[in-house]
A and B are shown apart, each in its own frame.
Chain A
């Protein structure tokens, strides 16, 4: 559950609580395919993934972004999130376990709100970044 985080309590350079995720498995990828409407067979079918030039099935990029979203909504109420942007920087495969991390990079006032900008990313068990980007939250 999101905590009561206040603008005044945060400093540039502060880390937000990181979130470790269990490894991706075939059941989660199948559930996410159905839930997210992304039925691309490269996420479900080994043969189709290899035919597409991949080493095997890969996890949905939007699943990794959704995990970053969970880190954010586990930290502050979702209504605080103003912007959430990422680049997909590497593939994740079944068995990879991601850890989501975020650091405060700026504090500012805009449009009558107190905003905190974060650098956020999810990395795999080898420390390689799978998704990386920024989020902006408005805090009391």
Chain B
């Protein structure tokens, strides 16, 4: 049986400075060819303050601070027994190079399926920028195989 007391737990705030070089590397790694994501002048011409972070980059902001592993550590679960089941993003504002993004993760839900063989953990993370404006909400479902 899992530790139900973890539901509702909030983890300490984390922060990441979003660097231009990192965004360019991320864009390259996903095979992006649109100059808006690679060339700062093209980004500015498209109305961005600097290079924009692609739609899934917010998960990397959480990953950079090891957020998806914190619940697994709390549960004492071997991370090789877990898989990323679902991922959702809700967007409020651009994230661009030069921003400092702060996040806070909480455990929203935990439940078992298949007679306890699978444990589903849902976490929710709100990301805000240096002006305290919300930029993105993440909802992550991690599935743990028990036994």
Contact = CB atoms under 8 A, between A and B. Distances in A.
A38 B63 contact: yes
Contacts of B91: 81-84
Given A66-B30, A70-B31, A83 B60 contact: no
Nearest to B85: A88
Contacts of A83: 88-91
Interface residues of B, number: 34
Interface residues of A, number: 40
Interface string B33-58: 01111000000001000001011100
A56 to B, nearest CB: 15
Interface stretch (B20-28, B99-107, B110-118, B126-134): B20-28
Given A82-B90, A85-B86, A86-B86, A21 B34 contact: no
Contacts of A2: 34
B84 A62 contact: yes
A42 to B, nearest CB: 7
B88 A70 contact: no
A35 B28 contact: yes
B56 A22 contact: no
A72 B37 CA distance: 14
Given A62-B84, A69-B30, A88-B85, 4 more contacts: A36-B63, A73-B55, A86-B87, A133-B86
Interface of A: 1-2, 21-22, 28, 31-32, 34-38, 40, 42, 51-53, 61-63, 65-67, 69-70, 72-74, 77-79, 81-88, 133
Interface of B: 22, 25-26, 28-32, 34-37, 46, 52, 54-56, 59-60, 63-64, 79-80, 83-91, 94, 139
10 contacts: A32-B29, A35-B28, A36-B29, A42-B80, A62-B59, A63-B30, A69-B55, A73-B54, A84-B88, A87-B86
